[in-house]
Structure 1
Amino acid sequence: MLGPVESRSVSPVFVGRATELETLSDALARAAAGDPQALVIGGEAGVGKTRLVEEFATAAGREGAVVALGGCVEIGADGLPFAPFSTALRALRRELPGELADAAAGQEEELARLLPELSDTALTRGADRSDEESMARLFELTARLLERVAAGRTVVLALEDLHWADASTRHLLAYLFRTLRTGRLVVLATYRSDDIHRRHPLRPFLAELDRLRTVRRVELGRFNRTEVGRQIAGILATEPDPAQVDEIFERSDGNAFFVEELAVAAHEGCCTGLTDSLRDLLLVRVEGLPEAAQRVARIVAEGGSTVEYRLLAAVAQLAEDDLIEALRAAVNANILIAAPGGDGYRFRHSLVREAVGDDLLPGERSRLNSRYAKALEADPTLVPADERVMRLASYWYHAHDPAKALPAVLDASVTARRRHAHSEQLRLLERAMELWDSTPEDVRATLRPVDYTEVYPPCGCDPATTPLRYLDLMAEAAVAGRLCGERERALKITKRALHLLEEEGDPMRAAWFWVQRSRLVQAQARGDGWKELGIAQELVRGLPPSEVHAEVLATAANWSMLRRPGPEAMSAAERAVEYARMVGAEDIELNARLTLGALMVDAGHIETGLAQMYQVRDEVLAHGLTAGVGRSHVNLPSVLEGIGRSEEAVGILREGLRLTQKMGLRDSEAWVWANLAESLISLGRWDEAAEAAVNAQQTGQSAKPRGGGSNSLAHLALARGELPEAARHLAAARASYGTHDPMPQNNLPMSRLALGTAAAEGRLLDARTEADRVLRAGFPPGTQRYAWPLLLAAAVVESDARAHALPAAQEGRAAFLERLCEATRKLTTGAPLWLAYEKWTRAELDRAENRATPDTWSDVITAFEALERPYDLAQVRHRLAEALLAIGGEDERARATELLRLTRATAVHLGARPLADAATRLAHRARLTLTAAPPLPPTDPADSLGLTTRERDVLRLVSAGRTNRQIAEELFISPKTASVHVSNILGKLGVSGRGEAAAVAHRMGLFPAETLTAGTSS
């Protein structure tokens, strides 16, 4: 509109920053080679961060990269949720419309929370409820979107002014920095370092980045005198007087922006009489404008980072010609500049805007915000649609008009919730609670829960017709706090709510808040949450069916399924299903039915329970219920694995991986990986199991699926005789599970591993003590899938102790064996796997008393031959061979030879060296020849280094000069997994780099030279 304007105060010469530009150029080159890069640029206000990014963007564009810029928006000190990402994605959509559409295919509605143009339906009322994974799901899908867009060409995503960023933007950026592993992508962000005071919310974010080796930090310093001289010469287009350079350098202290301001002021002869305050210098420039231009500058200062022209015109209330002349004066003076896209205006530098804004009188600020709000209410098209609600809320709030501010802030909280920006939703709800008492009662009476809240703790009324209550806001805020990780704030809100409810006598609403406290207490590691659930159950006991009643029962049933399965848990699940059906709460019903099916299987009603779980899985898929998809593909295969149907479980888990990855359910994906590792171990696919377990560790956002991965790795290490590794992984599992919320599914497998590790290290009494501790505590009903392996491990220890006549085994042995036998008699054997374990455990106990016969072990083998568990079958074959050799006949010896051949072949294939060695020793003692069996591999020098089979493969490729990406492609693993293997190798070898690792491998002769040569040539 204004045409070309003078830009005298911006130097056409880019001064200094050679080192910083080299760092950015190096990042661009690395990204172009397929290695994503992350950088954070810090520096004080005015030091030149934006200019550096502009120069880099120009250079990147010359290299063929697509640059997408996004800035954090400041509106009355309130950041807009995901504003810089929305802006940057919009720029990507303009530059690469086809690529972005292809990358977003299938997930448009979810990604529209960041870029509304992708879908017309994502943010409508009645969208899916937020859940524990809602924000993580959006983050994962965003990461995948960027990786796909950047698969074919280099993309630079630059986010400026991170010091203004909302919490959700910070969380998403941190997620990208942690998880991006593929794509030709550079992600960089800038922030103002002098604004980061001790309590600034960006400080924890920066501290987290310091722990990430993948993020490079660039700190911009001030210019030296020579650079200041070059900058002044560029601005004035002439060589400056040395005395003038000295004066400006001294006053600006090398700050690039202040150098510009001082140089122009000196050139225009307005330095005389200036105070020492540089902020005053900025105001002097503004005060030199005509009065109309000063007025427009004050209006723009209060309107936000950028003010659209039509909005500015509505607020300024000037004749169009007068407004244009005022803008022309401000733009010519380089106070204001046209915003990108040409639709509005902003200050050339935020420091000037802050100076002008700070100079406004309190009443003047309120009046300006009120005029902005009224203009926007009169014509909502004055601002972009995705900013409208948030800006209106900010304007009315800072106008100090509660009657207008409360509904606007509540509308903004709904928008934040629909975008999964739960941190901003919580902040807005707290602002609404602040406004509540000062808002006229007649205004509050017009507000409805159905319009502003997603959760409806019942008050016996219709939320569509009953006025909104303060407790409704507290309920919504408690959920928002839990979902965004602000659990301490959420706990305080529930405490206040329950205190208020003590006087109101509303048991349903109180029960709902106690359920929230239960979840928060567990999440904060302050307990297991059962006390809170118990209070909730007492509050709803005897009340008519309701959604809250169903939720309380379903939550209690699910809690009990994991910790105290049994008849009470099943009864709660059945009533939860019944009540949910009565009130039409489909999501609660499906959740309760899944719990009920698992409890039925544990109780021995296997086919009925499985049918229930399969039906729930099909229904959540048909209805597209995201949370249900995750849970059904975790719980169903877990139950199948527990009853020995491992192959069936793997099929569902593979489908679960596809679905959770597609939907961005990262934590559910981690659980699927953990369960897949367990089932693959059972099936004898141990290398695949190890990869799955590592993926569970790396994928999980919460600790417990990482603990499951560590548990599986410990199991494999123990079976392979890698005892230090087993101990390390067991310690990691314990750390992940913690001690505040004990669960049999975690504790019993860990006790089994601790027992087995102690026995393998010759610490028989420690092994017995661990087993005895568990036996005395007893096994809750429904825990047989974890109890049987532990009982078996304890019986094996006692059996081997007798066979080897260990003196330490005698004291207390008889009493312990009696407790072991008693536990075996009481445990359920309803599934074929459990029955097989019972036969095996009893056989070991017979062996411990020297009563086992070949018939005893033949019966066990028959039980395991019908199952898909090759390692278990190999172990009982070894036992039968031992029993046959004790008889000593020719037929028995021939049969034992064949059994030992099979045992050793399986053990060698799995890498189970202890079992292979045991079979070899038994054959040697009996003078049997196992020539038909595959020979054991020769002793590998890598064994002395403690390397696993997969780590040997990785070290071979490292020695051949492969990168992590090349290793991943050759071994069919992810680059992240390859990186973890390399780190483990460096630690075990005690070296600091890949070159040293290759040198160690060469020195020890681990790999033939021709193998490395052949690998390199490819």
Structure 2
Amino acid sequence: MLGAVENRSVSPVFVGRADELSTLHDALSRATAGEPQALLLGGEAGVGKTRLIEEFAGAAARRSAVVALGGCVEIGADGLPFAPFSTALRALRRELPDEFTVAAAGQEEELARLVPELGEPPAARSTGRYDEEGMARLFELTARLLERVAADHTVVVVLEDLHWADASTRHLLAYLFRTLRTGRLLVLATYRSDDVHRRHPLRPLLAELDRLRTVHRLELARFTRQEVGRQIAGILATEPDPAQVDEIFERSDGNAFFVEELAVAVHERCCPGLRASLRDLLLVRVETLPEPAQRIARIVAEGGSTVEHRLLAAVARLAEDDLIEALRDAVNANILIAARTGDGYRFRHSLVREAVSDDLLPGERSRLNRRYAEALEADPTLVPADQRVMRLASYWYHAHDPAKALPAVLDASVAARARHAYSEQLGLLERAMELWDAAPQDVRSRLRLADYTATYSPCGCDPATTPLTYLDLMAEAAVAGRFCGERDRSMKIIKRALRLLEDENDPLRSAWFWVQRSWLVQAKAHGDGWRELGTAQELVRGLPPSEVHAEVLANVANWSMVHVPGPDAFSAAERAVEYARMVGAREIEMTARLTLGSLMVQAGDVEAGLAEMYEVNRRTVADGIAAVAGRSYVNLPSELESVGRSREAVPLMEEGIAFTRRFGLLNSEAWVWGNLAESLFTLGRWEEAAEAASRFRRVEQSAKPRGFHAWIRAELALERGDLVEAAEQLADAREFFGPHDFAPQFSLPLARIAVGVAAGEGRLLDARAELRRVLEDGFPPGTQRYGWPLLLTAATVETGAAGLPVAGPGRPETLERIRRAAKSLAANVPVWQAYERWVRAELLRAEGHGRPEDWAEIVAAFEALERPYDLARVRCRLAEALLAADEDQRDRATELLRLAHAVAEHLRARPLADSVALLARRARLTLTRAPQQPPAFADPAESLGLTSRERDVLRLVSAGRTNRQIAEELFISPKTASVHVSNILAKLGVSGRGEAAAVAHRLGLFPPGAGDRLVVG
């Protein structure tokens, strides 16, 4: 519109930054090779970050990369939710429309929260219930979208001005940097380092990202004196006087922007230049403009980072020709420049805008904000649709007009919730609470519950006609704070609400807030949450069925299932299901039914309980109740594991990982990975278990999943003999679970590990003390899956300590304590029946009464189970008993020890391998032997009945490959690979992959260097 303008103060010569450019180009090369890159570029205001980005972006484009720029947008003191991502994704959609469409296919409604052009987000149509996992789902879909778009094209995403970023943008950026694993993608974010003070919200994010090995951080330094001279020469198009260079260098201290301003000031002799302070220099440059241009600069300064032309015209209230002339003066003076979109104006540098804004009088600032708000209300099309409500709320708030600001801020909070920008929603709701008393009563009375809340209204009235109350705002804010991780702020709001409710007779609303408080206490690991839930339960006792009543009972049942399973938990779950059905609360009904199914399994009604859980999983997946479906993928496999059906649990969890990723259920995904690691450990697939635990670590969100991760890592370390690692992980697990929550599903496994570590370090008395502490309270019903391994470990420790001087005192008492505890544990399924026999035999062995026939029964029991590590351990025990009882059983004992040793070596279970080797040495047995050479015409694989394809699969199993790796190498599906492995185990008569590998090794099926050709097809 304004045509060519003078641009003298920007040097046409790019100065310095060779090392930084080299780093950026190296990252671009790695991204082009398929290794995603993440970089942070920091530097003080004016040091030249934007110029460096422009130089790099141009070079990247010349290398055929697609560059998508997005900047954080500041509106007064507020940032727009997800603004840089929205802008960058729009740019990607313009540059790669076909690829973007394919990548977004099927998820357009969710992604429309960031790119409204894709459609209308579901939550924008109605408030509905809160979507607890919505933000996580949006983050996951955004990451996958970028990976797909960057599958065949190198994509550079630049996000500028993170120091203005809203909390949701910061959370999304952190998620991307943690989870991007594929694609030709480079994400580069910039920020002002001098703005990031100790309490700046960006500071924790930078600290978090510094700990990621995948993130590279650059800090842009000021120019040297030589570089300043080159910059001045470029600006003035002539070689500057050395004395002038020295003076400008000293005055600017090498800041590129101040070098430009000082050089122009000296050249044009239009202001005091070197004699003025730098802030005065910036203002003097503005004050030299004609009065209409100065006025326009002041208006633009208060409008935000960028002000659209039509909006500026409406606020300035100048004739079009006068407006253009004023803009031309400001642009010619290099104070304002055209925005990148070409539809508005912004200050050439934010430092100038800040100086102009700071120079405004308070009344002047309020008046300008009012005019912006009035113009936007009169014509909402003046700004992009996705910015409208946020900007209107900001303008009215800074105009200090509560009557207008309160509804505008509430509208903005609904828009933030619709985008899953819960951090911004929380801030806006807090602003609404601030405005509440100042707003006129007639304005408040026109606000309706249905328009502004997504939480359940405990009053039971029609939300469409019920006026909004201050407590409704507090409920919304409490949930928003919990969802965005601002748990301390959420807790303060809940405590304040409960204090207000002390003077009101509203038990349902009070109970609702107590449930929220219980969740927060548990999430923060500050308690077990029962006091809060108990209070809520007392408040609803005797009241008619309601959604709040059903929700309280469902939470009580779930808490009881974890902490004190038994009749009370069962009763609460049944009533929660009944009440939820009566009031039509389907999600609560499904949650309670899932809990009820778990309690049935734990009580011994295994098949009926599992059937109920399978049914909940099927219905919630089909009906799109994502949160409960995600939980079903956690609880159902966990119960399958608890009854020894680990192989059945694994594919269900693999399905669950895909489901939770699709819907962004990060917390559920974390638990699924943890449960998968546990089942893989049981099945003897320890390397896969370690990988699952690592994946678990990458997605976990709250304290307890972190504790579960540490528990699994400690378990692996203990069984492999790494006591130092086991002790460190045990300490981490206890820290994450916190000192206030002693749920048996956490405390009992950690006690078992503590007993094992103490015994391994020779601290027998500490091991006994740990056992005594745990057994004092006894085992709650349904905790046999954790109790039997603990008792077995304790009994094994006593056996190993036999003969030590310290073992005598207290030994009979400890063994008797273990016997009494074993009588209280259920053994209602084959796996725990086998453990019961094992514990009994281990106690007899500790007393010197072991019999081969007892151990033979135990070996037979474990041969029917898919627990190769446990089978190897009891085979070792049987071999020991045979050698002690009958010299004629040496051959049988030798074979048992060879099988046990092969499994121990395969799993790298060093303590078991050492025990087997020691026993073999004492009995003068050889664990290895040269394979017998069969006749030339005989093939051992054929004699075992293995097909050609099964031989190929067995070879890869022996090499430690997973089913997925086997599938990839043989060009078959993982399911087909799994079927082949199952057939091989059956034909070899073994129960696990480690044993199959041992048999293959013993028969010499795959001698080193044989070069067997794999048949593909």
- Fold agreement, TM-score > 0.5: yes
Q: 1:912 aligns with which of 909, 924, 948?
A: 909
One-letter amino acid of the counterpart of residue 697, structure 2: Q
User: In the aligned structure 2, how far is the partner of 1:432 from the partner of 1:722?
Assistant: 55
| Superposed CA offset, 1:535-586 (max 9, x none) | 1111111111111111111112111211111111111111111111111212
Contact 1:130–1:420 (Cα < 8 Å) also in 2: no
Q: Match for residue 813 of structure 2?
A: 815
Q: Match for residue 825 of structure 1?
A: 823
Q: Match for residue 833 of structure 2?
A: 835
Q: Match for residue 535 of structure 1?
A: 535
Q: Match for residue 845 of structure 2?
A: 847
Q: 1:826 to 1:214 in 2, by over 3 A?
A: closer
Matched, 1:776 2:773: no
Q: 1:236 to 1:122 in 2, by over 3 A?
A: farther
Q: Match for residue 289 of structure 2?
A: 289
User: In the aligned structure 2, how far is the partner of 1:299 from the partner of 1:119?
Assistant: 34
Offset, 1:490: 1.2
Moved more, 70-79 or 458-467: 458-467
One-letter amino acid of the counterpart of residue 814, structure 1: P
Q: Give structure 1 stretches of 5+ with no counterpart.
A: 936-952, 957-965, 973-1008, 1012-1018
| Superposed CA offset, 1:630-684 (max 9, x none) | 2111111011000101111112111112222333333322222211121122222
Q: Match for residue 43 of structure 1?
A: 43
One-letter amino acid of the counterpart of residue 868, structure 1: E
Matched, 1:629 2:629: yes
Q: Match for residue 408 of structure 1?
A: 408
Q: 1:353 to 1:717 in 2, by over 3 A?
A: closer
Q: Match for residue 876 of structure 1?
A: 874
Q: 1:921 to 1:224 in 2, by over 3 A?
A: closer
| Superposed CA offset, 1:859-884 (max 9, x none) | 33343333222222233333334444
Q: Match for residue 74 of structure 1?
A: 74
Contact 1:38–1:214 (Cα < 8 Å) also in 2: yes
Q: Give structure 2 stretches of 5+ with no counterpart.
A: 933-955, 960-964, 972-1007, 1011-1017
Q: 1:903 aligns with which of 892, 900, 903?
A: 900
User: In the aligned structure 1, how far is the partner of 2:335 from the partner of 2:372?
Assistant: 21
Moved more, 208-217 or 556-565: 208-217
User: In the aligned structure 2, how far is the partner of 1:525 from the partner of 1:728?
Assistant: 19
Q: Match for residue 748 of structure 1?
A: 748
User: In the aligned structure 2, how far is the partner of 1:922 from the partner of 1:250?
Assistant: 80
User: In the aligned structure 2, how far is the partner of 1:408 from the partner of 1:289?
Assistant: 36
User: In the aligned structure 2, how far is the partner of 1:849 from the partner of 1:273?
Assistant: 95
Contact 1:8–1:236 (Cα < 8 Å) also in 2: yes
Contact 1:123–1:415 (Cα < 8 Å) also in 2: no
Q: 1:888 aligns with which of 886, 892, 897?
A: 886
Offset, 1:81: 0.7
User: In the aligned structure 2, how far is the partner of 1:671 from the partner of 1:742?
Assistant: 18
Contact 1:43–1:219 (Cα < 8 Å) also in 2: yes
Matched, 1:94 2:91: no
One-letter amino acid of the counterpart of residue 43, structure 1: G
Contact 1:73–1:83 (Cα < 8 Å) also in 2: yes
One-letter amino acid of the counterpart of residue 751, structure 1: A
Offset, 1:708: 2.8
Contact 1:75–1:304 (Cα < 8 Å) also in 2: yes
Q: 1:716 to 1:283 in 2, by over 3 A?
A: closer
Q: 1:22 to 1:862 in 2, by over 3 A?
A: closer
One-letter amino acid of the counterpart of residue 516, structure 2: Q
Q: Match for residue 345 of structure 1?
A: 345
Q: 1:1010 to 1:924 in 2, by over 3 A?
A: closer
Q: 1:782 to 1:246 in 2, by over 3 A?
A: same
User: In the aligned structure 1, how far is the partner of 2:351 from the partner of 2:869?
Assistant: 70
User: In the aligned structure 2, how far is the partner of 1:430 from the partner of 1:512?
Assistant: 20
Number of residue-to-residue matches in the alignment: 943
Q: Secondary structure at the match of 1:393?
A: helix
Q: Match for residue 952 of structure 2?
A: none
| Superposed CA offset, 1:112-163 (max 9, x none) | 2222223323442336744554333332332232233223232222111222
Q: 1:712 to 1:456 in 2, by over 3 A?
A: closer
Moved more, 529-538 or 719-728: 719-728
One-letter amino acid of the counterpart of residue 354, structure 2: E
One-letter amino acid of the counterpart of residue 228, structure 1: V
User: In the aligned structure 2, how far is the partner of 1:89 from the partner of 1:318?
Assistant: 36
> Kindly, what percent of the aligned residue pairs are identical?
74
Q: Match for residue 328 of structure 1?
A: 328
User: In the aligned structure 1, how far is the partner of 2:527 from the partner of 2:840?
Assistant: 38
User: In the aligned structure 2, how far is the partner of 1:483 from the partner of 1:244?
Assistant: 57
Offset, 1:844: 2.3
Q: Match for residue 787 of structure 1?
A: 787
User: In the aligned structure 1, how far is the partner of 2:273 from the partner of 2:51?
Assistant: 31
Offset, 1:480: 1.2
1:530-929 pair list within 5 angstroms: 530-801=530-801, 804-888=802-886, 890=888, 895-922=892-919, 925-926=922-923
| Superposed CA offset, 1:925-953 (max 9, x none) | 55666667989xxxxxxxxxxxxxxxxx9
Q: Secondary structure at the match of 1:40?
A: strand
Contact 2:137–2:662 (Cα < 8 Å) also in 1: no
Q: 1:738 to 1:258 in 2, by over 3 A?
A: same
Contact 2:178–2:698 (Cα < 8 Å) also in 1: no
Q: Match for residue 207 of structure 2?
A: 207
Q: Match for residue 979 of structure 2?
A: none
Matched, 1:83 2:83: yes
Q: Match for residue 360 of structure 1?
A: 360
Moved more, 572-581 or 850-859: 850-859
Q: 1:930 to 1:278 in 2, by over 3 A?
A: closer
Contact 1:86–1:114 (Cα < 8 Å) also in 2: yes
Q: 1:878 to 1:536 in 2, by over 3 A?
A: same
Q: 1:293 to 1:107 in 2, by over 3 A?
A: same
Q: Secondary structure at the match of 1:846?
A: helix
Q: Secondary structure at the match of 1:525?
A: coil
Contact 1:38–1:187 (Cα < 8 Å) also in 2: yes
Contact 1:113–1:123 (Cα < 8 Å) also in 2: no
Q: 1:934 to 1:664 in 2, by over 3 A?
A: farther
Q: 1:464 to 1:726 in 2, by over 3 A?
A: same
Contact 2:525–2:703 (Cα < 8 Å) also in 1: no
Contact 1:448–1:467 (Cα < 8 Å) also in 2: yes
One-letter amino acid of the counterpart of residue 875, structure 1: R
Contact 2:311–2:382 (Cα < 8 Å) also in 1: yes
Matched, 1:34 2:31: no
Contact 1:698–1:706 (Cα < 8 Å) also in 2: no
Offset, 1:274: 9.0
1:972-987 pair list within 5 angstroms: none
1:238-253 pair list within 5 angstroms: 238-253=238-253
Q: 1:925 to 1:202 in 2, by over 3 A?
A: closer
Q: Match for residue 985 of structure 1?
A: none
User: In the aligned structure 1, how far is the partner of 2:47 from the partner of 2:921?
Assistant: 78
Q: Secondary structure at the match of 1:342?
A: coil
Report the TM-score, using the length of structure 1 for normalisation. Answer: 0.87
Q: 1:43 to 1:767 in 2, by over 3 A?
A: closer
Q: 1:334 to 1:808 in 2, by over 3 A?
A: closer
Contact 1:897–1:930 (Cα < 8 Å) also in 2: yes
1:13-28 pair list within 5 angstroms: 13-28=13-28
Offset, 1:506: 1.0
Contact 1:228–1:245 (Cα < 8 Å) also in 2: yes
Q: Secondary structure at the match of 1:777?
A: coil
Q: Match for residue 193 of structure 2?
A: 193
Q: Match for residue 470 of structure 2?
A: 470
| Superposed CA offset, 1:707-764 (max 9, x none) | 3333333333333444444334433433433323222111211221222334445544
Matched, 1:257 2:254: no
